[in-house]
Amino acid sequence: MKECTDKVVGDILAGWRYDISGLAAEMREDYEAHFADCARCRGKQRLHRIIDFSLLIIATGSAVLFLAAFLAVRHFNPSRALLMEIAALAGFAFSAFMWIVVAVTTPVPMVVAGVAKEQARKLHDRLPDEIKSKIPETLSSKIAE
């Protein structure tokens, strides 16, 4: 992989796991410019977001499978199934807990919110003026931020 174009900024971003979504807009400008110039940091940021989303997907899939296992045991009701039910519920609870931990400790919610806001802004810009005038000002100002 190529070298970072600005080692100091690259080290700062690496310490933050290449997440600038929580920064104020004034502080974010330099880092966004660095991402635009530096292919290495851009690639690292992409890798970290892929890992974050993958962890959420794995935790979600695990929770769904444990819940399906619990429901299957309840449906077929084999004798002495209490331990299987407890194990399935414990697996579901652990998977749900891991999902919450990943969602809280990674920037995934902010990234998703940013993408949603960007798409809403694009959609709002394409709306006809008569429809834009019917949208409450509070909502329009949140989209424009």
pLDDT computed for residue 112 by the predictor: 81
Q: What does the pLDDT read at residue 113?
A: 80
pLDDT tens over the chain, length 145 residues: 578 888 888 888 877 777 777 777 777 888 888 888 888 888 888 898 899 899 999 999 999 999 999 999 999 888 778 899 999 999 999 999 999 999 888 888 878 887 888 888 888 888 888 888 888 877 777 777 6
Report the predicted TM-score, pTM, of the whole model to 2 decimal places.
Answer: 0.73
Instruction: Report the C-alpha gap between 125 and 142 in whole angstroms.
Output: 13
* Terminal Cα-to-Cα distance of the chain (whole angstroms): 36
Give the pLDDT confidence score for residue 42 in this predicted structure.
86
Tell the burial category of 23 from Cβ atoms under 10 Å away from its Cβ (0-12, 13-18, 19+). Answer: middle
Residues ≥6 apart with Cβ < 8 Å to 39: 2
Cβ atoms of 81 and 73 closer than 8 Å:
yes
Q: Which candidate, 115, 15, 112, places its Cα nearest to that of 56?
A: 112
